[in-house]
């Protein structure tokens, strides 16, 4: 998919699902144009690929933790199979569809589409499992539900320590890194967390060291089945201690259950559990809804971040190119002295062949010049760690480019980056106005 096609696809989807962000695509176009001019991006690349345009909510947990039931209830329709045994061994990516019927597509649909968070994930999986079939790990479901509009939801396969695979863990880490919100479900019907020790190791290990730990919610599901003695605090405390022993010291803990399936005889206990469940579920759903706003800000802020990144890299690029110019100038002086001196000497010996000698000398100079220029460029590029800086350096020092003109970034281009930074800040102000207007409480009429 070319950048032009990606811009078009993004616009189509945003008009349908998140029209607030349609205008920001133009800022990304301008940013891409500057980056390509300097060389930080190739012609087939775009900064729109560097960030997910849809907020990502991932649901992880053991196979009996009620993840699929929670997702079905959230969507308002049954699209995920439920049960006490592992019923699905794939990651299911759920997105919005205008069609009434639910469409299921294979994992390759995700691997080949840069709009989704699993673009080219097959390359990562093949590092562990060569020639792996991506369809074994991923599938896509398009669902007509307003609850998922503007978001992407991921349901993980039930974690089973006996069948846990490195590829699944790699995908899980990838999901947590990209997600705006991570819901980790535990089955409250196992009152002793020690019995789930191996599974806890797999689930918690990928989350505990994450920099943005506030986005991880720990959900103790089906609490109605084990709080028979009105000991809800004891059960939650036992799970919190188990997680703290694994290194989890942050992240919110919630307790919920499916009210329609609950069988609680004691009315007082029933009311108490329901109150706790309603409070926690309300907060979970509010956080799920809020990711749409958070993602909008990140997308807009990314324009400012990338513009500043280019501005910060430009002095380093100019420094590298200046070093390259000096070295190439010394190389050319040496070649002129060596080849010119040789041609002059041969010309004195063969006066009648002077034009031929100087012509051959010039061609030899050009050949050695371009050869040594490419070698020097390659050698210096290998010592550059930053990917964008390396790409720009290689572009500016290509064999056919006059090296004395390399790195001459116009003030107009620098000003364009400064304008994009200001445009990003202005767009954030528009988002503020939009969301403040949307959520502003109506004033009481004056009496």
Neighbours of 225 (CB within 10 A): 16
Tokens 């930074």 belong to: 421
Please choose, from the candidates 107, 99, 101, 12, the residue with its C-alpha nearest in 3D space to the C-alpha of residue 53. 12
CA distance 191 to 411: 66
Tokens 């007082």 belong to: 268
What's the pLDDT at 189? 66
Please choose, from the candidates 183, 184, 200, the residue with its C-alpha nearest in 3D space to the C-alpha of residue 244. 200
Phi–psi pair at 187, nearest 5 degrees: -90, 110
CA distance 178 to 153: 12
Please choose, from the candidates 180, 165, 222, 139, the residue with its C-alpha nearest in 3D space to the C-alpha of residue 55. 180
Please state at what angle helix 341-349 crosses helix 354-381, rounded to 10 degrees: 160
Distance of CA 267 to the CA centre of its chain: 47
Q: Residue 88, CB half-sphere, CA atoms under 13 Å: how many?
A: 22
CA distance 45 to 51: 13
**pTM, to two decimals:** 0.71
H or E segment to which residue 183 belongs? strand 181-187
DSSP labels for 295-311? HHHHHHHHHHHHHHHHH
Helices (H), 354-410: 354-381, 387-396
CA distance 105 to 111: 11
What's the pLDDT at 30? 94
Say if residues 47 and 236 touch (Cβ distance below 8 Å).
no
Three-point CA angle 11, 17, 19, nearest 5°: 60
CA distance 260 to 150: 28
Please choose, from the candidates 361, 359, 400, the residue with its C-alpha nearest in 3D space to the C-alpha of residue 377. 400
Going by DSSP bridges, is the β-strand pair 252-255/216-221 parallel, antiparallel, or unpaired? parallel
Q: Where are the domains of the chain?
A: 1-50+301-440, 54-263
Buried b (16+ CB within 10 A) or exposed e, 28-67: bebbbebbbebbbbeeeebbbbebbbbbbbbbbbbbbbbb
In the three-class reduction of DSSP (H, G, I as helix; E, B as strand; rest coil), residue 272 is classed as helix
The CATH number of the domain covering residues in 54-263 = 3.40.50.300
What's the pLDDT at 424? 92
CA distance 91 to 390: 36
Please state at what angle helix 267-335 crosses helix 387-396, rounded to 10 degrees: 30
Number of H helices, E strands in the chain: 13, 8
H or E segment to which residue 439 belongs? helix 411-439
Structure tokens at 198: 């191996």
Say if residues 283 and 255 touch (Cβ distance below 8 Å).
no
What's the pLDDT at 201? 60
* Average pLDDT per block of 10 residues along the chain, 447 residues long: 84 81 91 93 88 85 78 86 60 88 87 72 73 81 89 77 58 78 79 50 56 73 67 71 66 76 71 85 90 87 93 92 93 91 84 86 92 93 91 90 78 90 90 66 45
What's the pLDDT at 54? 82
Q: Residue 44, CB half-sphere, CA atoms under 13 Å: how many?
A: 3
Structure tokens at 324: 């390259």
What's the pLDDT at 88? 59
Interacting residues of 354 by C-beta distance below 8 A, sequence separation 6+: 347
CA distance 142 to 97: 5
């Amino acid at each position: 998919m070319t950048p032009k096609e990606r811009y078009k696809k993004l616009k189509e989807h945003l008009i349908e699902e998140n029209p607030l962000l349609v205008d920001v695509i133009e800022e990304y176009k301008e940013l891409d144009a500057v980056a390509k001019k300097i060389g930080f991006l190739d012609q087939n690349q775009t900064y729109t690929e560097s960030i997910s345009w849809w907020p990502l909510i991932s649901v992880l947990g053991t196979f009996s933790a009620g993840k699929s039931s929670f997702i079905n209830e959230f969507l308002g329709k049954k699209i995920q199979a439920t049960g006490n045994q592992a019923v699905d061994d794939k990651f299911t990516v759920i997105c919005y569809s205008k069609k009434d019927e639910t469409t299921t597509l294979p994992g390759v649909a995700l691997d080949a589409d840069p709009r989704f968070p699993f673009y080219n994930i097959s390359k990562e999986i093949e590092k562990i499992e060569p020639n792996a079939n991506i369809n074994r790990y991923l599938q896509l479901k398009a669902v007509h539900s307003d609850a998922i509009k503007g978001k992407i939801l991921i349901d993980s396969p039930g974690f089973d320590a006996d069948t846990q695979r490195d590829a699944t863990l790699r995908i899980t880490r990838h999901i947590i890194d990209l997600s705006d919100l991570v819901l980790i479900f535990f089955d409250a019907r196992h009152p002793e967390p020690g019995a789930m020790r191996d599974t806890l190791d797999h689930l918690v290990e990928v989350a505990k060291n994450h920099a943005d730990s506030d986005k991880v919610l720990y959900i103790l599901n089906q609490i109605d089945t084990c709080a028979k003695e009105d000991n809800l605090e004891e059960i939650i405390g036992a799970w919190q201690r188990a997680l703290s022993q694994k290194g989890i010291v942050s992240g919110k803990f919630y307790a919920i259950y499916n009210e329609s399936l609950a069988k609680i005889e004691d009315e007082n206990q029933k009311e108490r559990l329901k109150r706790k469940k309603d409070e926690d579920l309300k907060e979970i759903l509010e956080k799920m809804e809020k990711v749409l706003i958070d993602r909008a800000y990140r997308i807009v802020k990314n324009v400012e971040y990338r513009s500043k990144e280019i501005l910060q890299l430009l002095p380093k690029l100019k420094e590298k190119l200046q070093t390259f110019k000096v070295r190439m100038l010394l190389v050319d002086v040496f070649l002129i002295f060596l080849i010119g001196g040789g041609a002059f000497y041969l010309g004195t010996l063969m006066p009648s062949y002077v034009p031929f000698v100087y012509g051959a000398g010039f061609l030899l100079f050009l050949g050695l010049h371009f050869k040594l220029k490419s070698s020097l460029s390659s050698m210096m590029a290998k010592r550059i760690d930053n990917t964008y800086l390396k790409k720009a350096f290689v572009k500016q020092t290509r064999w056919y480019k006059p090296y004395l003109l390399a790195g001459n970034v116009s003030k107009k281009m620098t000003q364009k980056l400064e304008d994009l930074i200001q445009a990003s800040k202005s767009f954030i102000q528009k988002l503020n106005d939009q969301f403040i207007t949307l959520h502003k409480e109506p004033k009481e009429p004056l009496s």
